[in-house]
Structure 1
Amino acid sequence: MSESLHTVPTLPAARRPGCPFDPPAELIDARRHGPISRYTFPGGKPGWLITGYELVRSVLADPRFSSRKELMLHPTVDYGDIEAPPASPGEFLLMDDPRHRRYRKPLMGKFTVRRMRLLTERIEQITAERLDAMEESGPPADLVTAFAKPVPAVAICELLGVPYADRDSFQEQVDSLVNGEKSDEEVTAAYIATQEYCAKLVAAKRADPTDDVLSELADSDLTDEELKGIALLLLAAGLDTTSNMLALGTFALLSNPAQLAALRADPALTDQAVEELLRYLSVAKTFMRTALEDVELGGRTIEAGSPVILSYSTANRDPERFAEPHALDVHRQDGGHLAFGHGVHQCLGQQLARVEMRVAFPALFDRFPTLRLAVPAEEVGLRPETADVYGVKSLPVTWDS
């Protein structure tokens, strides 16, 4: 390869002012220089940043790149000589096969397209209940607390069997874990609290099974520790990602009135619009891998032991894969985004997330045809780039009563 290798000195801490939906400028610039860049991790260890669609997809499908937690480095924090522990039992997102397969295999039949379609009627009821409450309270409202958080919270909690009375407190704990704004002490306290809660939930399902996924898993050879880890992972992932897609997706549509008008004029575009929002926003921004051996990638040699950052947000904006990648286009036909990942770790809950968005967006805009931001767009509070999942802190909206 004749072109020089681009180096990204630090990962950005913020997005450009006035561009809340675009990846940080430094990442976009890195992609312009090529799909792979050098990156020096805090503490001085050299690694790689991959920003191109094809290379990100390739790494996600390549077993020579590991997901094991104990091999990972944090991309922005230097923990010195402290070594990362192996993934806890059930924390299969941070495992390789065969450990990963032990947990994923019994779950695969429980998040099928068919089962998610059967949930559609209940999700429609949940959505209508939240919209009724918004309408009764009257404008203005914070769409995050009034709508975007409660809809996926009720859905995932019902799927896994979390008692209704526990949902608000559990949601608060999860938010403390992932919003990127809590102190280390607060995050640790939230993690311990969620672990303790999941342990109690598993014990309850063992003693008195109900009609839910966690009860079905309890009737297997999985241990209590494994079930606790699975419950924590699924509940946290199911709560935070979809709620941020609903809030940030609404913000994006309200900021692109022509696209919103097209969606309102043709409800048949809903499925396409959901896929386009997933691509355009990529709320799960980056993932990590570690090379287990020397790997030739994009004309470079990724050395064994090298940490690799995969930028989903720039891969989904790659001009070599998507026409006019920085435009939100609900008519877009070139699908195949990586918002849910790819390969053996592709998101298990993607069909549930799709059902929730396909129901929630049309229902919201049908109920409130005059829905609009209640503050200037530049005043909408955004999550920091340090958050695991990107989104808005709150989304003040109003409408004509």
Structure 2
Amino acid sequence: MTAELALPMRRDGFGPAAELGEVRDGDGVVRVDSPFGQTGYLVTRFADVRRVLGDPARFSNARARATSPLEARLSDEEAARLRAGGLLGYDPPEHSRLRRMLTPEFTVRRMRRLEPRIVEIVEAALDDVERAGKPADLVSRFALPVPSLVICELLGVPYSDRDEFQSISARLLDTSLPADERMAAQHANRDYMAGLVERAQADPGEDMLGMLVREHGSDITTDELVGICSLLLLAGHETTSNMLGLGTLALLQNPDQLALVRDDPAMIEPAVEELLRWLSIVHSVAMRMTTEEVEIAGNTIAEGELVMLSIPTANRDASFIDDPETLDITRGVGGHLAFGHGVHHCLGAPLARMEMRIAFPALLRRFPGLALADPEAQPDFRVFNAVYGLERLELTW
């Protein structure tokens, strides 16, 4: 039996489903089931989503995480270990303490040092695409390998383990799977990273994992270290890989804009920002729980209620941007919520932006005749995945 797709995850091609837009343009808030079984309020307007993201005191990540059905069957001790280090399930000041240790590693200046190596990784992946011959699946040959190798080298994860951690990630993010399977994937994810942490504690290298052990070993528990690195590995390859695949398809369907990205270096940065806004691959960021009675879009929400945030509908809100349904890379408007907002704003945003700024034009220049292998085929979207994207993208050139 096919699982029912929860409203916050429903899409129509690249954008949110029509019923989500109707909520945004109507009441702005609706009570729905989450993709994980709880019931709460879905917030859809740009200003309201931004307000919730910017107010961790009244909208708590930690309280929401404690309601996870996946953890309901665990003992308190097991649940605490599973949550440890998971920044998306923390509130200040605990969140601030852990994030402070990581922030210096993700500054724009630090990311620029990685640029030559990212260029090498992108070119090597393009070589692989060319060797494989046409048609080639862009997802498995390019979109997934590039960010996976980058985050592996940055974090200190053996790239040879990619099949293992990519398989675990896929199960973790697949909301159609039974709860037992997703819980098993959570345990497998932490078990895998625990082995790497143990090795780093015995012999810390020059990567980020080694840095955390050397510089913060006395300030962070082993369980926290496992949780932080598990999240960084998952987020570091899943999000950017889906942006590269989905973004390429979007450009192929807008050839005039594809040409600008390929031929005009000044258009690359605004193109990345517009693709981030228009695609909004994260359906709904981590849920929050109200810590007091609040009002959103004229709706009173009691204390102790779960709140979900629809990033795709917020980023296509006409009160935020003119003509929001149109992909227009020439505007390159900042301020979108694709990376979140506030204390939980995506730590890896500078890295993701750099990878895309390098990868998109490199791909389009290497293969100026890039095209869909079968223009009549329907895109194979990852419908039930918590991070939207494509299963495959067969291309020719």
Q: What TM-score does the superposition give when structure 2 sets the normalisation length? A: 0.90
TM-superposed deviation, 1:33: 0.8
1:351 alignment counterpart = 350
Give yes or no for the alignment of 1:113 onto 2:112: no
1:253 alignment counterpart = 251
**How far apart in 1 are the matches of 2:183 and 2:316?**
34
Picking from 171, 195, 200, the partner of 1:200 is 195
Secondary structure at the aligned position of 1:120 is classed as helix
Give yes or no for the alignment of 1:11 onto 2:7: yes
Give yes or no for the alignment of 1:276 onto 2:266: no
**How far apart in 2 are the matches of 1:245 and 1:260?**
15
TM-superposed deviation, 1:199: 0.7
1:26 alignment counterpart = 19
> Which deviates further from its counterpart, 258-267 or 145-154?
258-267
Contact kept in structure 2, 1:43 and 1:80, CA below 8 Å = no
TM-superposed deviation, 1:185: 4.3
Secondary structure at the aligned position of 2:395 is classed as strand
2:42 alignment counterpart = 49
Secondary structure at the aligned position of 1:68 is classed as helix
**How far apart in 2 are the matches of 1:239 and 1:273?**
20
Give yes or no for the alignment of 1:154 onto 2:149: yes
2:61 alignment counterpart = 67
TM-superposed deviation, 1:42: 9.5
1:238-263 superposed Cα distances (whole Å, 9 cap, x missing partner):
11011000000001111111211222
Q: 1:48 to 1:261 in 2, by over 3 A?
A: same
Greater fraction of residues in helix = 2
2:375 alignment counterpart = 376
Contact kept in structure 2, 1:73 and 1:307, CA below 8 Å = no
**How far apart in 2 are the matches of 1:154 and 1:40?**
36
TM-superposed deviation, 1:265: 3.2
Aligned residue identity for 1:317: R
**How far apart in 2 are the matches of 1:268 and 1:380?**
30
TM-superposed deviation, 1:309: 1.2
Secondary structure at the aligned position of 2:42 is classed as strand
Contact kept in structure 2, 1:12 and 1:24, CA below 8 Å = no
TM-superposed deviation, 1:289: 1.1
**How far apart in 1 are the matches of 2:272 and 2:90?**
30
**How far apart in 2 are the matches of 1:44 and 1:183?**
11
5+ unaligned residues in a row in structure 2: which ranges?
1-5
**How far apart in 1 are the matches of 2:187 and 2:37?**
31
Q: 1:263 to 1:45 in 2, by over 3 A?
A: closer
TM-superposed deviation, 1:192: 2.5
1:340-389 superposed Cα distances (whole Å, 9 cap, x missing partner):
000001110011100100000000000000111112365221111x3210
**How far apart in 1 are the matches of 2:16 and 2:336?**
15
> Which deviates further from its counterpart, 211-220 or 179-188?
179-188
Secondary structure at the aligned position of 2:83 is classed as coil
Between the aligned residues of both structures, percent identity stands at 48
Q: 1:193 to 1:43 in 2, by over 3 A?
A: closer
Picking from 106, 130, 137, the partner of 2:132 is 137
**How far apart in 2 are the matches of 1:163 and 1:196?**
15
Q: 1:105 to 1:283 in 2, by over 3 A?
A: same
Aligned residue identity for 1:314: T
Aligned residue identity for 1:238: G
Aligned residue identity for 2:279: L
Q: 1:247 to 1:81 in 2, by over 3 A?
A: closer
Give yes or no for the alignment of 1:58 onto 2:58: no
TM-superposed deviation, 1:171: 2.1
Contact kept in structure 2, 1:72 and 1:307, CA below 8 Å = no
Give yes or no for the alignment of 1:334 onto 2:297: no
**How far apart in 2 are the matches of 1:113 and 1:375?**
39
**How far apart in 1 are the matches of 2:359 and 2:91?**
35
Contact kept in structure 1, 2:8 and 2:310, CA below 8 Å = no
**How far apart in 1 are the matches of 2:158 and 2:37?**
47
Contact kept in structure 1, 2:24 and 2:313, CA below 8 Å = yes
2:28 alignment counterpart = 35
Aligned residue identity for 1:225: D
Contact kept in structure 2, 1:380 and 1:396, CA below 8 Å = no
Aligned residue identity for 1:11: L
Aligned-pair RMSD on alpha carbons? 2.5
Contact kept in structure 2, 1:34 and 1:52, CA below 8 Å = no
**How far apart in 2 are the matches of 1:299 and 1:11?**
21
Q: What TM-score does the superposition give when structure 1 sets the normalisation length? A: 0.89
**How far apart in 2 are the matches of 1:339 and 1:13?**
15
2:3 alignment counterpart = none
**How far apart in 2 are the matches of 1:186 and 1:46?**
21
**How far apart in 2 are the matches of 1:174 and 1:382?**
17
Aligned residue identity for 2:62: R
Q: 1:45 to 1:375 in 2, by over 3 A?
A: closer
